[in-house]
Structure 1
Amino acid sequence: MTSKNILIIEDEEDIRELVRYNLKREKFNVLDAESGEEGLLSAARDLPDLILLDLMLPGKDGMQVCRELKQNERTRNIPVIMMTAKGEESDIVSGLELGAEDYVVKPFSPKVLVARVKAVMRRKSAGPALSDTDVLKIYDLTIHPGRHEVMVNGESVDLTATEFQVLHFLARRPGWVFTRYQIVDAVHGEDYPVTERSVDVQVVGLRKKLKKAGEYIQTVRGIGYRFKDAD
């Protein structure tokens, strides 16, 4: 199998070396850039399979780099994992809303970073998410969009229209972190006014009705929610 190419955009040499060493141990090919400008050029020229992007960069910061990557036709589909410092929750939210796939918080464990890289690569290789009409079976859940029906271990669960839409949206992308704003943007409630605050109410209701299966909806503190990644 051909090795995947990972581009590291990070201005601190010791962090670049740490990340490079651990990725190479896992048989990834590694490219690197010390600035946002250099990273954008490398991304467009080399078209890596994934980009690790530091948010605190000199010159063009990580937010601007992420924005330009997602606006460029050549690079828009390259997955981006943000590397952020503690206390930058608002930046994480903004990055996810710009199109980044995931994030790690510094100081991070190299094992955690490699696991995140592999998870994103796995989701990428699995292809696009299911369509709005495909029946989704994950764990002990069966979600039938056409019928607006959810089954847990073969037993029907009575959900409101908005609860169903929130569950379906999250379950179609297991492992992906979504901000409350992204969930609001994707869900158009018919029986409940959907706002960022009401997303939390929907999730509480979902977990209660799904019982044990409600644990699949995971809270990402300060950011939003994700559906448990499929093994």
Structure 2
Amino acid sequence: MKNSEIKILLVDDEPDILEIVGYNLKNEGYTVYTAKNGLEAVDKAIKHTPHLIILDIMMPEMDGIEACEKIRGTKGLENVLITFFTARGEDYSQVAGFDVGADDYITKPIKPKVLVSKIKALLRRIKVTKTIESTTTVVIGDITIDREEYVVIKNNKKLSLPRKEFELFSLLASKPGKVFKRDDILDSVWGNEVVVGGRTIDVHIRKLREKIGDNYFKTVKGVGYKFTLDED
């Protein structure tokens, strides 16, 4: 996907932020829309269906938490990438953000070039998952991935996975046999602003092995993981 095809909605009540950040994103070729508060953000998200929403938390009329919740509850916007962009670094703000469906969290102040780099990393998730998101149901061997219901069906048994487990499995299953590096997995599933321990991927892989089957997931020592249909 070309940068000119990517739509970004930037939401902040500070005019300087809208101007400076918007300028840098437009320089990268992105199509940028702006909003000054949560109410306007919801309206423009519905109107433009952006690929990414950069959302401040502390805003008048409707804060970012409530706006995120409303956007996530709107048909057609359930899977839009949303990253919070705020000076508030308290843990409770981050937790509240993720609870309502945020994908990432970026704190101010941040240099424009660094912000653009982080935005590019976020947008790579679209490219990574695009191959399997073109259809709502993907069948791999005796496994069916239902991307609308966020469930996996194996041997006619429905498995309800937590969101991160589902996204990790969907990523690995998008290219059976391909080795996904640990950094790429963290970037695609958790995002580079989320502080997670080195064991986070291992724990989620262990849970997937318990639910789907141990031999479907292969560890490539020092590199990462891959999904395989070999159950021998």
TM-score (structure 2 length as normaliser): 0.60
Q: 2:89 aligns with which of 87, 90, 105?
A: 87
Q: 1:137 aligns with which of 168, 179, 189?
A: 179
Residues 125-164 of structure 1: pairs in structure 2 closer than 5 A:
125-126=127-128, 127=130, 129-131=171-173, 134-135=176-177, 137-139=179-181
* CA gap 1:174/1:15 in 2 versus in 1, 3 angstroms: closer
* CA gap 1:50/1:132 in 2 versus in 1, 3 angstroms: closer
Letter in 1 for 2:68: C
Moved more, 16-25 or 79-88: 79-88
Q: Contact between 1:97 and 1:179, CA under 8 Å: does it hold in 2?
A: no
Is residue 121 of structure 1 aligned with residue 123 of structure 2?
yes
What's 2:54 paired with? 52
Residues 65-84 of structure 1: pairs in structure 2 closer than 5 A:
65-84=67-86
* CA gap 1:88/1:25 in 2 versus in 1, 3 angstroms: same
- TM-superposition CA deviations, 1:150-197 (whole Å, max 9, x none): xxxxxxxxxxxxxxxxxxx869737463779x9889975999xxxxxx
Q: 1:104 aligns with which of 100, 106, 118?
A: 106
Q: How far has the Cα of 1:83 moved from its partner? A: 0.4
SS at match of 2:17: helix
* CA gap 1:186/1:83 in 2 versus in 1, 3 angstroms: farther
* CA gap 1:17/1:187 in 2 versus in 1, 3 angstroms: farther
Q: State how far apart, in whole Å, the 1-side matches of 2:18 and 2:222 are.
A: 42
SS at match of 2:83: strand
- TM-superposition CA deviations, 1:8-31 (whole Å, max 9, x none): 111111111111111111111111
Letter in 1 for 2:106: V
What's 1:173 paired with? 189
Q: Contact between 1:96 and 1:179, CA under 8 Å: does it hold in 2?
A: no
Q: Contact between 1:130 and 1:172, CA under 8 Å: does it hold in 2?
A: no
Q: State how far apart, in whole Å, the 2-side matches of 1:35 and 1:174 are.
A: 26
Q: State how far apart, in whole Å, the 2-side matches of 1:34 and 1:98 are.
A: 20
* CA gap 1:172/1:106 in 2 versus in 1, 3 angstroms: closer
* CA gap 1:55/1:174 in 2 versus in 1, 3 angstroms: closer
Q: How far has the Cα of 1:138 moved from its partner? A: 2.8
Letter in 2 for 1:138: F
Q: State how far apart, in whole Å, the 2-side matches of 1:108 and 1:27 are.
A: 20
Letter in 2 for 1:3: E
Q: How far has the Cα of 1:61 moved from its partner? A: 0.8
* CA gap 1:8/1:170 in 2 versus in 1, 3 angstroms: closer
SS at match of 1:100: coil
Letter in 2 for 1:71: G
Aligned CA-pair RMSD: 3.7
Letter in 2 for 1:89: D
What's 1:20 paired with? 22
Q: 1:38 aligns with which of 37, 40, 51?
A: 40
TM-score (structure 1 length as normaliser): 0.60
